[in-house]
Structure 1
Amino acid sequence: MSVGYRLSAADIAVTCRAFLDGPPRQPLRPGRPGRFLTVIAADGHPLADVGRAVERTVFEPAFGNNADVMTSEYGPYEDRSRFFVVLDRQTGLPAGTTRVIAGTGDEVKTIADAPGHIGRSVEEILDAHGMRGQTIWDFATVAVLPQYRGRRYGLTVSSLLYRTFAVAGTRAGVEHAVVMLDVRAHRNMTLIGNRLYPLAGSAPFAYLGSADTRALYARIPDFVPDMTRQAAALLGFGGRHAGRIPGQGWRKPLARLVAARVAHRIATGRTLDENIVYAT
């Protein structure tokens, strides 16, 4: 069993610095590198344990998910997990991570867990979205460390994670994605243009410390075109936009502009793809 959830701060620093100081990797797109780098790391790579440590650091204070809970919940899926780990080149430390679990049917956590919460069997869920016998990517976790949240860094770190999922999933030829999202994350993903469908028509429920969670389905091939359309709609160049713009008064048009820019950036990969690499 991986010890990543209890990885010490010193071990995290050494692992990240060793990767950053190692041989250069070919990014998805040539360009000027930025402060943040996203590394796609399979289970067994040292950065996978860094991803696990980031998950625990974020989820323990937020939802009470300590190392024991994380081990219990994700242990059965470790060998099917890959991690997108965002590294800060300036500090040599992680900024955030996403875990993707790949498999068919209840080999992925969302499909395995959902029946106990939504009253639908695994077979009903798979048939509802045409997933029977198909590879599924479970967008299992998204964790951004507190010091990287907010306007200055948060949008870049989260945009890198979402762009990496879209690009890596497309390159792998995967059509189907599932995810458990709390109400805030669901609202944010809808606003940047992701079409998310309730899994087998399900309603929200409590899950792993979150009082309002949704089990959702999405098509990976739709991510880029949908975000492209959403960016245009938010800027007033297209049809009606999806989601609700937060804020009041002058904050509302500002939030709309920010959402449009984020959707466009993730859809095009501008300033992002040159900072996404595969670990070896």
Structure 2
Amino acid sequence: MLTSFPYDLSPAQTKAVIAEFLSTVRRRGRFLTVVAGSDHPLAAVARTVECQVFNDAFGNTPEVMAAEYGPYESSSIFYLVIDTRTAQPAGAARVIIGDRLKTLDDAPAHIGRTADEILDAHNLRGEPVWDFATAAVLPAYRGRLTVSSMLYRTFAVACLRAGVNHAVTLLDKRAYRNMTLVGARQEPLAGSAPFAYLGSPETYALYSRPFSYLPDIRRQSRNLLRPGHRYTGHIRARGLKALLVRLAAARVSHQVGTGRGLDRNIVFTV
């Protein structure tokens, strides 16, 4: 299936696009997050990352991705995390803005609620809403907490910059568990239950209020570091491993909540 929005750049094409971009900016750290519109050359790199991760995890081929996300390309904004040492991508996310959002288009068929019921449940009529449509970290970078931290922080900062107070998303179980442990407060969309979606056996349709992200996440960081304090989310490990997971989650929450070491490495091109 041919599409004007490629999802399968070759490694050589990917590196060339990134190297060209890096030649135009001052490198500020190991990882750089670039916010780019759908027609920016880096958007094709972000789509390729998105497709690689979703294909490996859920069998979403370039053809599936083009069919699913093609209608939203013109209203998509991409966050691409670049490893400046290697001129390679590390992770990417897609945010859909505007009047038509994929989460609100797809959720009704899976959660037993009409679009009108969803809008009324969260007072979304006449309000700007952003769809955190995808988030993907390449396997080689999943042990580096900075990459996922940068994606979360960029979304929170971008929402604040744009004055957006409502967000929706469809998250796979693992992504939902991770974001909850980071401290992002989310609620089921119109009281919905998990469902199978695009190869994921357990997907959550969620609503959140971006203005509360950073205070909630900073609070989570403090609670994770305080023995005996309650925190959101669940750590399945036990003993020393549980402590290590808790400390790692606290580090991510601190980075996302404060932007320390991250904000200077976010470049907005749109």
Report the TM-score when normalising by structure 1.
0.92
Supply the distance in 2 between the matched residues of 1:139 and 1:169 (Cα, whole angstroms).
11
| 2:246 matches 1:243 | no
Q: Once superposed, which parts of structure 1, at least 4 consecutive aligned residues long, lie more than 6 Å away? A: none
Equivalent residue runs for 1:124-273 within 5 Å: 124-150=117-143, 153=144, 155-236=145-226, 240-273=230-263
The structure with higher relative contact order (CA 8 Å, sep 6+) is 1
Match of 1:110 in 2: 103
Partner amino acid, structure 2, of 1:5? Y
Supply the distance in 1 between the matched residues of 2:90 and 2:179 (Cα, whole angstroms).
20
Partner amino acid, structure 2, of 1:167? V
How big is the shift at 1:3?
A: 3.4
How big is the shift at 1:56?
A: 1.1
Match of 2:63 in 1: 68
Partner amino acid, structure 1, of 2:134? T
Show CA shifts across 1:43-101 (max 9, x none).
11000111111111111121110111001000000000010000110111111100000
How big is the shift at 1:238?
A: 9.2
| 2:15 matches 1:13 | yes
Supply the distance in 2 between the matched residues of 1:173 and 1:130 (Cα, whole angstroms).
16
Supply the distance in 1 between the matched residues of 2:9 and 2:29 (Cα, whole angstroms).
27
Q: 1:3 aligns with which of 5, 12, 26?
A: 5
Supply the distance in 2 between the matched residues of 1:23 and 1:142 (Cα, whole angstroms).
24
Supply the distance in 2 between the matched residues of 1:111 and 1:11 (Cα, whole angstroms).
34
How big is the shift at 1:237?
A: 7.9
Distance 1:23 1:194, change over 3 A: closer
Supply the distance in 1 between the matched residues of 2:30 and 2:120 (Cα, whole angstroms).
43
**Any idea what SS the aligned residue of 1:98 has?**
strand
Supply the distance in 1 between the matched residues of 2:227 and 2:207 (Cα, whole angstroms).
28
**Any idea what SS the aligned residue of 1:86 has?**
strand
How big is the shift at 1:240?
A: 2.2
Q: Is the 8 A contact 1:2 1:49 kept in 2?
A: no
Partner amino acid, structure 2, of 1:9? P
| 2:73 matches 1:78 | yes
Distance 1:127 1:239, change over 3 A: farther
**Any idea what SS the aligned residue of 1:22 has?**
coil
Match of 2:37 in 1: 42
Supply the distance in 2 between the matched residues of 1:23 and 1:219 (Cα, whole angstroms).
33
Q: Is the 8 A contact 1:124 1:200 kept in 2?
A: yes
> How many pairs are equivalent?
268
How big is the shift at 1:253?
A: 1.5
Show CA shifts across 1:135-183 (max 9, x none).
1111100111111112xx2x11000000000001110110111111111
Supply the distance in 2 between the matched residues of 1:23 and 1:48 (Cα, whole angstroms).
17
Supply the distance in 2 between the matched residues of 1:205 and 1:15 (Cα, whole angstroms).
37
**Any idea what SS the aligned residue of 2:7 has?**
helix
Show CA shifts across 1:105-125 (max 9, x none).
xx0000000000001011110
List runs of 5+ in structure 2 lacking aligned partners. Answer: none
Show CA shifts across 1:180-211 (max 9, x none).
11111111111111111000000000000000
Q: Is the 8 A contact 1:246 1:255 kept in 2?
A: no
Supply the distance in 2 between the matched residues of 1:157 and 1:243 (Cα, whole angstroms).
20
Q: Is the 8 A contact 1:197 1:217 kept in 2?
A: yes
Q: Is the 8 A contact 1:180 1:214 kept in 2?
A: yes
Q: How high is the sequence identity, in percent, across the aligned residues?
A: 57
Supply the distance in 2 between the matched residues of 1:208 and 1:127 (Cα, whole angstroms).
26
Match of 1:29 in 2: none
Supply the distance in 2 between the matched residues of 1:265 and 1:215 (Cα, whole angstroms).
26
